[in-house]
Structure 1
Amino acid sequence: MDTATLTRTPEKASRRRRRVAALAAFVFFFGPAVAFAAGDRAGEIENRQLAAFPALSRRFAAGFEAWAVDHLPLRGEAVRAHALLSEGLFGEQPSYATAGPRAYPRVIEGRDGWLYFGDDVAEACRPAGTTAGILDRVRRLGEIVRRSGRRFVFTVAPDKTTVSPDKLPDRFLGEGCLRGRKKEFWAALDAARPPGYLDLRAPLLRLQRDTGEPAYFRTDSHWSERSAALYGEELARVLRPGLSEDTRLTFLGRSPREGDLGRLLGAPRQEDAARWRLDRDGVRRVAQDDRDAPLAFRVTNASARAALFRPRTLLIGDSFTRESTPWITPYFADLTVLRSDAPARAGPERVAGYVRDAEVVVFEMVERYWAGGHGETLTDETLAAVEKALEAAPRRAGDPG
């Protein structure tokens, strides 16, 4: 082989490496832009709303970074690719820890394929407020609503780590503060006995014990369909005893279901999940108004037999309520379901308008946010806006609903 050939061979290899590097750089820097132009949009993959575009202030830079990361096209695909690479090469979940405060895992891998939401730990171990403070805020909300002549009910959707903790690993980061904060919160709630409180923890534990079936999905952060139906039953019972008569819950069998926690890991997991259907004799959907979706939607029902709860009702809730709507809406003649993060999405005044238009207000929030001492519906700004709106529109017995 002559000298010229020897010279050309490494040159060709070098050119190939440069082309591969250039292609990788193009995909890294311009792939998201191309995907955006093709219509790809970021979705909510972390059981929370995407960061909003920040207002101009001294905190703009930090807020803009959070917004840019959340709204990056192909972000979900990148997370999944990272997870597959980490688990394929190293046999473990990817780590997303960063420098600074201790980073708790997004997902806790338990025994027998069980997954738990890491925010249960993060909220308990890094609370934004006190247990006494958050209970005082819901008490204030209840007083504001009742003082205006409206009815108020609130409930706590227990964490999966509270009702089905038996598959948690023996040791995990934050275990001590998680257990301590849970004990503190439930003891404080039991001692406070706040007016309008609907307990779901005891019925869920009883259902799980009596049926031998877990109350929560194995690979999801939420409760099962049967537990969602229990939520609807308990809400109906506290609003009007006997409301759940002429109601049947039918087991439909089992089918594959992909949980949200596997997607959060970037490695989707399926389970064989029990499926149920709620039937209420004579109840039919009259209309569904989705003009305010995904912020809110309104359902109106009529019935030729089963009783309906007639007062116009507003149900403010998080993803536990949204996952449970098929098992809740058939009990109501007129129900509006509003996201609990609506104050951040649309402003406190918009939320106050929904409350003003209701006769009955039901508020649900998952345990981890109670333990974390915060919630968008319970901020000072939201409470003030609701109070102002209801003072201007009190209800009296006999008012048309």
Structure 2
Amino acid sequence: MLRRLGPLPRATVPVSVAASLAVSLALGLAACSSDANGPDGASGAAPDGTPSSVPSPRLHDLEGTAPQTVEGRDGYLFIGTDFDLSCGSGEHFDDYLTALGDLATVVAASGREVVWTVAPDKSTTLVDRLPETVPQDACFRENQRWQEHLLGAVDEPHYVDTLALLRAADADGEQVYWRGDSHWTSYGASLWLLAALDRLAPEVADRVEVTEGTVERTGDLYVMAGRDDVESAPSTTFSTGNTMETIPGRTPFDPATESFGPLQWRTVPGDGMLPGRTLVIGDSFSYAGLDLTLPLVERGAFAWFQYLDTKVLAQQVAAADTVVVEVAQRTLTHSSVATQEFVDQVEAALAD
């Protein structure tokens, strides 16, 4: 069942978590990519600079745009932006991975704890569920393989290879993504969070109580496809035996109304969890797993980076004791936090 790096006590009573997330990111399409070695598809290099046997993507032209939803195998739907954005981001994907690694290095050098990941696309994780013919065809296939290689080649001590975790669980028959939604299930999110927690504080990870159950929802891809299917998928909840309470902010946090003010909470008495202030920097994937994150930290803040000024976000990093970073694969090359500019802003904030 749950894959974890250390033994975790398990509750026996299944719980159904009523959570809903129907968030679609408004994204502009990137220009099509060419590989750094020219259009002949010669081998490139991994983020650590070592040669790669996986060909980097050739030059392609985007063939229109993908439909909002793409029907795959075994009842799985995929979001169309996976194919368009993947086709357009291969050339500089490794640069953004390097920037996230640099960000983690800067934060760690300040004495803070840090861990980061790239939440892999559903279309990258579940390649065998894709239809035989996909939008952007060869362009998508080449970029997908290249990005998959780069995600597995990251050599940075604070990085968690979430793609490997999800692939392994899927191979064991676990459902790590919703069929009718573009995001991971809470079970899928739990794999990343447990691995992150084990990296930050193994003694805390060992004490987390895990409860498994099921949850029902109509996913965002069903909505985009004009369907009202209600899907049931495995759910996971975490507990540390403490009580969580939200900290009111001046601007309410409500993605349904496009309101992304501060989301902060504290947990009392604060035993058996990450101590101090933990800042979670993420996007809709982090939000999909937020219920799991809440009980794990003594005092927490969630920052949906797409809606925040990076200078403000850098100051939040400086105010934290622990920093957790997640960026979705399909939007990595459009991410404000995976840039050298943000790394410099954080370094300056930490020096103040």
Same fold (TM over 0.5): yes
**Alpha-carbon distance between aligned partners in 1 of 2:236 and 2:110, rounded to the nearest angstrom:** 39
Which residue of 186, 196, 205 corresponds with 1:225? 186
Cα shift at 1:189 = 3.7
The answer on 1:300 being equivalent to 2:300 is: no
Identity of aligned residues (%): 28
Which residue of 303, 311, 318 corresponds with 1:338? 303
**Is the 1:107–1:117 contact (alpha carbons within 8 Å) kept by the matching residues of 2?**
yes
The answer on 1:318 being equivalent to 2:302 is: no
- Give a deviation string over 1:33-87, Cα, whole Å, max 9, x none: xxxxxxxxxxx97721599xxxxxxxxxxxxxxxxxxxxxxxxxxxxxxxxxxxx
Note the 1:111-260 alignment, pairs <5 A.
Answer: 111-127=73-89, 130-210=92-172, 212-253=173-214, 256-260=216-220
Cα shift at 1:303 = 4.3
- Counterpart of 2:65? 103
**Is the 1:320–1:366 contact (alpha carbons within 8 Å) kept by the matching residues of 2?**
yes
Cα shift at 1:116 = 0.5
**Is the 2:239–2:296 contact (alpha carbons within 8 Å) kept by the matching residues of 1?**
no
User: What SS class does the counterpart of residue 169 from structure 1 fall into?
Assistant: coil
**Alpha-carbon distance between aligned partners in 2 of 1:146 and 1:127, rounded to the nearest angstrom:** 28
Larger radius of gyration: 1
**Alpha-carbon distance between aligned partners in 2 of 1:191 and 1:209, rounded to the nearest angstrom:** 21
**Is the 1:155–1:364 contact (alpha carbons within 8 Å) kept by the matching residues of 2?**
yes
Structure 2 stretches lacking a partner, 5+ long: 1-20, 29-61, 254-259
Distance verdict in 2 for CA 1:275–1:45, change over 3 Å? closer
Cα shift at 1:381 = 4.0
Which residue of 243, 253, 256 corresponds with 1:284? 243
**Is the 2:152–2:164 contact (alpha carbons within 8 Å) kept by the matching residues of 1?**
no
- Counterpart of 1:3? none
User: What SS class does the counterpart of residue 337 from structure 2 fall into?
Assistant: helix
Cα shift at 1:132 = 2.6
Structure 2: which amino acid aligns with 1:251?
E
Distance verdict in 2 for CA 1:289–1:179, change over 3 Å? farther
- Counterpart of 1:59? none
Structure 1 stretches lacking a partner, 5+ long: 1-43, 52-99, 393-401
**TM-score normalised to the size of structure 2?**
0.74
- Counterpart of 1:364? 326
Which residue of 289, 294, 298 corresponds with 1:329? 294
Structure 2: which amino acid aligns with 1:190?
G
Cα shift at 1:138 = 1.4
**TM-score normalised to the size of structure 1?**
0.66
**Is the 1:296–1:339 contact (alpha carbons within 8 Å) kept by the matching residues of 2?**
no
Cα shift at 1:376 = 1.6
Cα shift at 1:295 = 3.6
**Is the 1:229–1:324 contact (alpha carbons within 8 Å) kept by the matching residues of 2?**
yes
User: What SS class does the counterpart of residue 213 from structure 1 fall into?
Assistant: coil
Cα shift at 1:259 = 0.5
- Counterpart of 1:69? none
- Give a deviation string over 1:136-179, Cα, whole Å, max 9, x none: 22133223323333233211111111222332211122232223
User: What SS class does the counterpart of residue 377 from structure 1 fall into?
Assistant: coil
- Counterpart of 2:25? 48
**Is the 1:154–1:197 contact (alpha carbons within 8 Å) kept by the matching residues of 2?**
yes
Cα shift at 1:311 = 3.4
The answer on 1:263 being equivalent to 2:223 is: yes
Structure 1: which amino acid aligns with 2:244?
R
**Is the 2:113–2:200 contact (alpha carbons within 8 Å) kept by the matching residues of 1?**
no
**Is the 2:170–2:176 contact (alpha carbons within 8 Å) kept by the matching residues of 1?**
yes
Query: Using CA pairs below 8 Å that are at least 6 residues apart, which structure has the higher relative contact order?
Result: 2
User: What SS class does the counterpart of residue 376 from structure 1 fall into?
Assistant: coil
Structure having the higher helix fraction is: 1
Cα shift at 1:185 = 2.1
- Give a deviation string over 1:303-327, Cα, whole Å, max 9, x none: 47x6111032111011110010111
**Alpha-carbon distance between aligned partners in 1 of 2:247 and 2:191, rounded to the nearest angstrom:** 23
Cα shift at 1:128 = 7.9
Give aligned pairs, total: 292
**Alpha-carbon distance between aligned partners in 2 of 1:331 and 1:354, rounded to the nearest angstrom:** 19
Structure 1: which amino acid aligns with 2:277?
R
Distance verdict in 2 for CA 1:267–1:152, change over 3 Å? same
